[in-house]
Chain A
Amino acid sequence: MSPLLEVGDLSVAYGAIEAVRDVTFSVDEGQIVSLIGANGAGKTTTLRTVSGLLRPRAGTVRFDGRDISGLPAHSILNLGIAHCPEGRRTFGRMTVEENLLLGAYTRDDEPGIQSDIRRVYELFPVLGQRKNQKAGLFSGGEQQMLAIGRAMMSRPRLLMLDEPSMGLSPIMTNLIFQTISELQSQGTTILLVEQNALAALALSDHGYVIDLGATTLDGPGKELLADERVRSAYLGED
């Protein structure tokens, strides 16, 4: 079986600055795969290219066997890839409910949308209790829940999460990681970018290390966790 997402020799530049120069990885259906790497390594750029916000300069992005590189972002969402962006990016001047409805923008099965909204409220009760408040009034952690809930609303086959635990308390972080495993067990494939490499790799079927715009190392999550080079570079050990 071919992988659900396959990225090969990806190169992406901002003007003259080459942010990603040689990224290659793949994600099998049903897996959790994480990309780890230092600040500025090119993880966010990679995700933004997969979701169509950026155009690759070279390389391939295949989803479900189909070349999607260069497609506009809205078409890529329609194919089944949702991207929960770095820094949450909730619509601060809209209510929680409106944010979730935007997550379901391309769907028109009203009953299904309503039941998915209820599911998000069950997962994150604080969102349900304050569903008519503007998202901008919520704490960072609460907005992160909203951003994840919103990304789930399109019922994606592949959910990409960029630093979902950034700035969150340990309790919140735990809840977020628990949610990610739950989503996996319900059949969603997950591509995770995390600063918190320890937690991410512990959860992942497979991990890739990105260094200066290139994938340099990969392996099953548990093996990477034990790898000397990963431990010293990303887990703060020496």
Chain B
Amino acid sequence: MTTLLQQIANGIALGATIGLIALGYTMVYGIIQLINFAHGEVFMVGAFGGLAVHRWLLPEAWQGDWYISLPLMIVGGVVVAVTIALIMERFAYRPLRNAPRLAPLITALGVSIVLQEAIRIWFPNAESAQAYPKAFIDAQVDLGPVSISASKLLIIVVSVALSVGLQLYVTKSRMGRAMRATAQDRDTARLMGVNPDRVIVLTFLIGAALAGVAGVLYGVDITNVDNAIGFQNGIFAFTAAVLGGIGSLRGAVIGAFIIGLIKTLGGQYMPGGTQYDYVWIFVVLIFVLVFRPQGLFGEAERVRA
């Protein structure tokens, strides 16, 4: 029983990380119908941005005080992730805005490789696990029968708060309205005075900021990072977005929790253990897509005039 609850807690924490990444996939897809395969690398670059801040920018005196160092690392991760994402949008995707769909998709794969290699070349030894500072959050928090590390609890709290915040922003604010309008019918949004370039940049910016936060919190929780974490978590996040119904914010978050739970519970209880935990994720994905191709929260048919 305790094991079960413990694994559920772990699954939720994993889902919270994946969810922050999945939001970026789903938002960008919603606006420009691009599967930005390089988004997982934005998460990875964010994790390294946070690590770089800790290693090279923070005075030693502050490194042990998590309430100072962690926020600064998050800021560093977000700045790096956002910068990379905006460069990518401007120079890799924007020139292909009117190209056939396959062109930006292949470009995204290329950008992904470029980012992995760039980190490998410029960040010392990034292809092997780099220790992530953790001293500040290795406390355990007891929640009844389960005990969860403070770092996992932090991821869950931050992820839920940011997801709710994003949902409110998109549904209530003027820019959020412009984003939804652009996603539904770009030309008509332009007739309302919406500048689609600004909306697209904002979408990449928000997605990258969330991925940057996720990258740093992931590093702190897992305690080491390498230049392949973007690929692995990117696949999970992309799968979560598809499972939830790509284009849907709620779907991405719920899909991510489902995937986090399948992975940890499958690894614990299914034959093959953690060696096969990936398999169950894709089994569930395939079943959902067979019976509900639009995903759990996707629209049956996108009405695009």
Contacts and interface: CB of A to CB of B under 8 A. Distances in A.
Contact of B193 (A53, A77, A98): A77
B192 interface: yes
Interface in B191-210: 191-195
Contact-residue size bin, chain B (C-beta under 8 Å from the other chain): 10 to 19
A112 interface: no
Interface residues of A, number: 26
B180 A73 contact: no
Contact of B181 (A52, A83, A102, A154): A102
A53 B192 contact: no
Given A89-B305, A105-B174, A74 B184 contact: no
A105 B192 contact: yes
Given A74-B190, A77-B191, A105-B193, A92 B177 contact: no
Contacts of B178: 102, 105
Interface string A88-107: 01011110001001110110
B125 interface: no
B187 interface: yes
B185 interface: yes
Contact of A154 (B180, B185, B193, B195): B193
- Say what secondary structure dominates the interface of chain B: helix
B175 to A, nearest CB: 10
A33 interface: no
Contacts of B194: 74, 102, 105
Contacts, number: 65
B188 A85 contact: yes
A93 B180 contact: yes
B303 interface: yes
Interface in A57-110: 72-74, 77-78, 82-83, 85, 87, 89, 91-94, 98, 101-103, 105-106
Given A72-B195, A77-B193, A154-B193, A102 B177 contact: yes
Given A72-B195, A77-B192, A98 B305 contact: no
Contact of A52 (B177, B190, B305): B190
A94 B181 contact: yes
A83 B189 CA distance: 11
A102 B165 CA distance: 21
A112 to B, nearest CB: 15
B171 to A, nearest CB: 9
B185 A98 contact: no
A53 B180 contact: no
Given A98-B177, A102-B178, A85 B191 contact: yes
Contact of A53 (B174, B181, B187, B195): B187
Given A51-B191, A52-B190, A136-B303, A89 B185 contact: yes
Nearest to B174: A105
A103 B192 CA distance: 5
A154 B191 CA distance: 10
Interface in A21-52: 51-52
A78 B187 CA distance: 16
Given A87-B305, A89-B305, A106 B193 contact: yes
Given A89-B305, A136-B303, A53 B185 contact: no
Residue among B174, B187, B188 facing the most chain A CB atoms (10 A cut-off): B188
B185 A91 contact: yes
Contact of A91 (B174, B181, B195): B181
A92 B183 CA distance: 12
B188 A91 contact: yes
B190 A73 contact: yes
A89 B189 CA distance: 10
Contacts of B184: 91-94
Contacts of A77: 191-193
Nearest to A77: B193
A51 B190 CA distance: 9
B38 to A, nearest CB: 28
B191 A82 contact: yes
A14 B189 CA distance: 21
Interface string B69-89: 000000000000000000000
Contacts of A102: 177-178, 181, 189, 192, 194
Nearest to B198: A74
B213 to A, nearest CB: 28
Interface of B: 174, 177-178, 180-181, 184-185, 187-195, 299, 303, 305
20 contacts: A53-B190, A73-B191, A73-B193, A74-B195, A82-B191, A85-B187, A87-B305, A89-B185, A91-B180, A91-B185, A93-B180, A94-B177, A94-B184, A102-B189, A102-B192, A102-B194, A103-B192, A105-B192, A106-B192, A136-B303
